[in-house]
Amino acid sequence: MDGQGERLNFDLGTAAGLRGAGVFGIVVGLLVVAGGVVAPPLGALLVFLWVWLSRTPFADIGLKR
């Protein structure tokens, strides 16, 4: 393969891992919650970072027009 397909598969696999309830998803979720407890603006940034990396639609986290 040319590397592009392998990188794309890794990105999709990582996104699925972030959305899932596996060890990786739970650890990331706990980090986001801890960031929100320590400093709410940091928690908000972590949520938006998680949404971007996991390719989750904003509507799925309650942000709609």
| pLDDT the model gives residue 10 | 55
Distance of alpha carbon 48 from alpha carbon 29, whole angstroms: 12
Print burial letters for 5-43: b (CB count within 10 Å at least 16), e (below 16). Answer: eeeeeeeeeeeeebbeeeeebeebeeebeebbeeeeeeb
pLDDT in tens, 9-57: 557 777 777 777 778 888 888 888 998 899 999 988 988 888 888 888 8
**DSSP 8-state secondary structure symbol assigned to residue 62:** T
> Are 37 and 44 in contact, with CB atoms under 8 Å apart?
no
Q: How confident is the model at residue 5 (pLDDT cuts 50, 70, 90)?
A: low
Supply the pTM of this predicted model. 0.68
